[in-house]
């Protein structure tokens, strides 16, 4: 056994689940009765594993250089112990910051570029997403208000949680930036009586929600537009605005543009809810050990994360006042595991659906999504990434607005209204 194989054998002995490796040439290492078996078709992939580059390892799996036999939960338990250290680094050097900003500017140079990146992910196949999302196709962190909730119940709880935080009232103008398959948009209209506008860059989502609006008889009070947030007219202002799972696609270079746009679209005294994934490290925009590069290449091109402290700074610089912040990190871990488990239960059907929409890349797409869902679930559990709901107001400058003198907005400056039923 050479040095590399001895190193790998030592790693396998330290893993929390039994893992076996089948090497090129029929050699075998690891457990006799494994929970996970990895079959290597290329020696270079073994060196990647030894180095703890689990993002590059995931790429080798997608590209077929490594095959996996076993549960995704067991694979991720092993993967988290292969890392040489935390993937949440803090490189704050000036040159690193310059490179990150240049990359961000290039990735989000135009609405057309962003549209292409959004469609790469969200237009894979509606039938594919339907296999593992809840019936409303809510593709964002659920809210497990009660620990025994199903995914569908927790997603409805999340939709209502947002509406309650925003204090939605009948007749108010409500804007949903990045409305997805319409879960929040339709919930707000049907349960809170708002006049609702949603925007998306996904052609599939736009067609789906437009059809639902017609089917539910909401035409005239609810509308879905295929539009970039930068293209929204500013002669129309909204009482309340929500952005759920969208600002991760904005890019650090455009963050001020994004929040400044929201400020101009929001009526003085109005409220905005920004719900999105945030970085676990203060000075990073993607995970290390190759994980960020994997997500960029196969899942979310152009995606960037900010630490919540940077989000709050950008909001403040745009004239928005943070009035409430809630961390839902473990809720997203549980949500992702629910999605992952649902996909794992329907792999044959998922292959058929993807083969119909992308026959040349169906297996690659499926492998990528299996790793992405389970890997993100693990990352949220570990605290490498997080999820924050940030509620903010646009102060109207009037001392008598609101429940308390100086509130300058609809927010009552207590949380009782959110949780009182």
Q: Which residues are catalytic, by number?
A: 376
Q: Which residues pair with 241 in a beta bridge?
A: 175, 272
Q: In degrees rounded to 5, what are phi and psi of residue 222? A: -135, 140
Pick left, alpha or beta for residue 64 (phi over 0 → left; psi -120 to 50 → alpha; otherwise beta).
Answer: left
Using CA atoms, how far apart are residues 76 and 240, in angstroms rounded to an integer?
Answer: 40
Q: Which residues pair with 195 in a beta bridge?
A: 173
Using CA atoms, how far apart are residues 308 and 310, in angstroms rounded to an integer?
Answer: 5
Contact 262, 318 (CB under 8 A): yes
Cα first-last separation, the chain: 66
Using CA atoms, how far apart are residues 15 and 82, in angstroms rounded to an integer?
Answer: 8
Q: Where are the alpha helices (DSSP H) in 193-239?
A: 203-215
| Orientation of helix 43-50 relative to helix 54-62, angle to 10° | 150
For residue 174, the Cα-to-chain-centroid distance in whole angstroms is 22
Contacts of 71 (CB under 8 A, 6+ apart): 35, 36, 344
Using CA atoms, how far apart are residues 11 and 30, in angstroms rounded to an integer?
Answer: 9
Q: Where are the alpha helices (DSSP H) in 230-300?
A: 255-265, 291-298
| Residue 2: how many other CB atoms lie within 10 Å | 7
Using CA atoms, how far apart are residues 274 and 238, in angstroms rounded to an integer?
Answer: 15
The token pair that represents 135 in the structure block? 């019936």
């Amino acid at each position: 056994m050479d040095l590399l194989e001895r190193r790998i054998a030592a790693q396998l002995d330290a893993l929390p689940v039994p893992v076996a490796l089948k090497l090129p040439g029929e050699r075998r290492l690891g457990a006799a009765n494994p929970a996970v078996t990895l079959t290597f078709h290329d020696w270079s992939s073994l060196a990647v594993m030894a180095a703890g580059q689990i993002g590059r390892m995931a790429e080798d799996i997608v590209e077929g250089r490594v095959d996996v036999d076993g549960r995704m939960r067991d694979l991720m338990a092993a993967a988290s112990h292969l890392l040489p250290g935390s993937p949440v680094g803090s490189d704050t050097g000036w040159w690193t910051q310059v490179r990150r900003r240049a990359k961000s500017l290039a990735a989000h140079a135009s609405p057309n570029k962003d549209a292409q990146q959004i469609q790469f992910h969200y237009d894979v196949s509606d039938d594919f997403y339907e296999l593992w999302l809840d019936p409303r196709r809510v593709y964002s962190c659920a809210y497990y208000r009660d620990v025994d909730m199903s995914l569908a119940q927790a997603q409805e709880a999340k939709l209502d949680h947002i509406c309650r935080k925003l204090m939605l009232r009948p007749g108010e103008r409500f804007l949903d930036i990045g409305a997805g398959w319409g879960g929040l948009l339709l919930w707000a209209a049907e349960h809170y009586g708002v006049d609702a506008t949603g925007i998306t860059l996904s052609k599939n989502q736009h067609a789906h929600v437009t059809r639902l609006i017609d089917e539910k008889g909401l035409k005239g009070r609810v509308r879905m537009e295929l539009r970039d947030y930068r293209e929204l007219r500013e002669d129309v202002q909204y009482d309340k605005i929500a952005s759920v799972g969208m600002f991760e696609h904005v890019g650090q270079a455009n963050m001020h543009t994004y929040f400044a746009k929201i400020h101009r679209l929001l009526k003085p005294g109005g409220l905005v809810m920004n719900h999105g994934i945030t970085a676990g490290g203060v000075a990073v925009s993607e995970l290390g050990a190759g994980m960020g590069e994997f997500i960029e290449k196969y899942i979310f091109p152009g995606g960037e994360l900010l630490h919540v402290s940077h989000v709050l700074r950008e909001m403040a610089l745009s004239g928005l006042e943070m009035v409430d912040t809630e961390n839902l990190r473990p809720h997203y871990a549980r949500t992702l595991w629910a999605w992952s488990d649902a996909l794992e239960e329907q792999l044959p059907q998922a292959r058929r659906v993807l083969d119909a929409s992308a026959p040349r890349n169906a297996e690659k797409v499926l492998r990528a999504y299996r790793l992405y869902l389970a890997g993100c679930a693990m990352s949220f559990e570990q605290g490498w990434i997080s999820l924050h709901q940030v509620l903010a107001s646009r102060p109207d400058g009037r001392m008598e607005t609101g429940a308390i003198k100086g509130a300058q907005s609809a927010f009552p400056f207590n949380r009782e209204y959110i949780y009182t039923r």
